[in-house]
Amino acid sequence: MNLAAVADFFENFRTDRLIEQLNAWNVGDLHSNPWFIGTFVVMVLISYVIGWRAVSAIITGFGGFIITISLTLAKGTGTEGLEGGGLYIIVIGGAVAVMLFIYLLFIKTE
């Protein structure tokens, strides 16, 4: 494996290509999809009631970031996202997801 192959591999992770792929997967519509939100809530509740606190925290963290990314993509990326509040959504949503993850995993005790 040479340096050119490594550079070609990391070319796939450019921001514009990631945004194009997320838009192709319709990630921007997940925050308004009742099936996604319902499944997410049921998975969190079931894992929390069973007593799997770590699994519940991981599902909450991943789901929070997915919803945050979905809301950000719905607002738009680039300069139109900045004007529409996309930057605030990703920063505040990410902070809330991380704080909830840390609370459920490390602070919440019985």
* Model confidence pTM above 0.85: no
pLDDT at 80 over 70: no
pLDDT for 82 equals: 59
pLDDT tens per residue across span 87-100:
788 888 889 988 98
Measured CA distances, 40 to 62, 101, 109 (Å): 10, 15, 23
- Determine contact, residues 60/100, Cβ cutoff 8 Å: yes
